[in-house]
Amino acid sequence: MPDLNLLITLDVLLAEGSVARAAKRLRLSPSAMSRALARLRDTTGDPLLVRAGRGLVPTPRALELREQVSRLVQDAQVVLRPAKALDMGQVVRTFTLRTSEEFAEHVGPALLARIAEDAPGVRLRFVNRTDKDNAPLREGSVDLETGVVDPTASPEVLTQALFRDRLIGVVRSDHPLSQGDISTARFAEGRHVYVSRRGQDRGQIDDALEAQGLTRHIGCIVAGFSTAIALARTTDLIAAVPERYTSDRRDLFCFTLPLSLPLFTVAMLWHPRQDADLAHRWLRGCLREVCGQ
C-alpha cells in the first residue's frame, strides 16, 4: 500500500519546484526531502522534477498530477479538520428516539415544532422503551434514548439530565379522595392501578407504605402512565404518575402523595460514537431546549 503522506510531500514539491524550499516548508532536512523525492519517483515511475540549469522543472507527468494531487490534499484536510458548522436546513436524516409513549406524547409536539423551524429534512422515529438495556445504542439502531437516570447504566453510555419530576396521585374528579384530607391510610385503602413496563407487581410506593405497616390493593397493572391516567379518569382506580404527564387535568383530581418519595431525574442517553456528530449534537440541544420550557 502506498504511503499517503507522500501525497503531501508531492504537493509541496510541485508547488515549490525546489527540494530546499519544500524541505523548509515541511520542516524536513534537505537530505530527508531528497529521500522523499526518490521514493516518489520510485512510486510513480517518473522523475517528476528534473534539473534545468540551476533549478528543477516538472516533467509532463508532474504537470499532469499537480492539480489532481493538490485537490486530493485539500479534500483530505477537509475530512480530517474538526467540523465546526452544519447547515441543518440542508440535512436529510432520520433520528430514532427510544422513549416511553408518554414522553413522545408530551414532549414530541414541541420537539417536532422546534425541528421544523431549522431542519425540515429531519424526521423523528419514536420507538417504545420497554427496558433499560442499552444494546440498541451500542449497536447503532437507536440514536438517542430518554429515561429515568439509572446509577447502574453502562459507563460507555453518555447521559445528560433533561428535567426533574415527582410522582403525584391522580383520581377522577368526583372520586372520594377528592374530598377532605388524604392521609396515608385513606390513600392505601383505595384500589390502585400500578404502572410497570416489566410486569412487576410492586414498587417504591409499596415499600413506603410497608414501612408504615400499610398495604395497598393493586387492582390493575399497566405498561404506561397514559393508560393509568385514562383508567383513573373513568374508574375508581388511583394512579401515581409523573406530574409532568398531567397537563391535561380534565375530569381529574390531582394530589400530593401522602408519602415521602424522592424526586427523580429524566435524562437523555447516547453512545459516544454520536457525541461529536454535529447533527446529533443539534438534536440534543433541541431536546434540552423543549424539556426546559
Q: 30-88 pLDDT, tens per residue?
A: 888 888 888 888 888 888 888 887 778 888 888 888 878 888 877 777 666 665 678 99
Summarize the confidence of residues 130-157 as an average pLDDT: 81
Q: What percent of the chain has pLDDT over 70?
A: 95
pLDDT at position 27 over 90: no
Q: Tell me the pLDDT band of 222, cut-offs 50, 70 and 90.
A: very high
Q: State residue 78's pLDDT score.
A: 64
Q: State residue 13's pLDDT score.
A: 84
Q: State residue 153's pLDDT score.
A: 61
CA distances 159 to 92, 123, 165, 197, 277, Å, are 26, 23, 17, 21, 16
Domain count, the chain: 3
Q: State residue 189's pLDDT score.
A: 93
Q: State residue 40's pLDDT score.
A: 86
Q: What is the pTM of this model?
A: 0.70
Give the CATH number for residue 157: 3.40.190.10
Summarize the confidence of residues 3-25 as an average pLDDT: 83
Which carries the bigger pLDDT value, residue 188 or residue 12? 188
Residues in the chain: 293
Residues 65 and 119 in one domain: no
Expressed as residue numbers, the domain containing 57 is 5-80
Residues 159 and 176 in one domain: no
Task: Give 14-20 contacts, CB < 8 A, sequence gap 24+.
Answer: 14/48, 14/49, 14/58, 14/62, 14/65, 14/66, 14/69, 14/70, 15/66, 15/70, 17/49, 17/55, 17/56, 17/57, 17/58, 18/55, 18/56, 19/49, 19/56
Which carries the bigger pLDDT value, residue 11 or residue 176? 176
Residues 197 and 247 in one domain: yes
Domain boundary among 48, 80, 112: 80
pLDDT at position 273 over 90: no
What are the residues whose beta carbons fall under 8 Å from the beta carbon of 249, sequence distance 6 or more? Answer: none
Summarize the confidence of residues 11-28 as an average pLDDT: 85
Q: State residue 99's pLDDT score.
A: 94
Residues 59 and 144 in one domain: no
Residues 146 and 176 in one domain: no
- The mean predicted confidence, pLDDT, of the chain is 89
Domain boundary among 34, 54, 80: 80
Q: State residue 287's pLDDT score.
A: 96
Q: Tell me the pLDDT band of 111, cut-offs 50, 70 and 90.
A: very high
Cell of 256: 400530593
Residues 182 and 39 in one domain: no
Domain boundary among 80, 101, 119: 80
pLDDT at position 271 over 80: yes
Q: Give pLDDT tens digits for 223-266.
A: 899 999 999 999 999 999 999 999 888 899 999 999 999 999 99
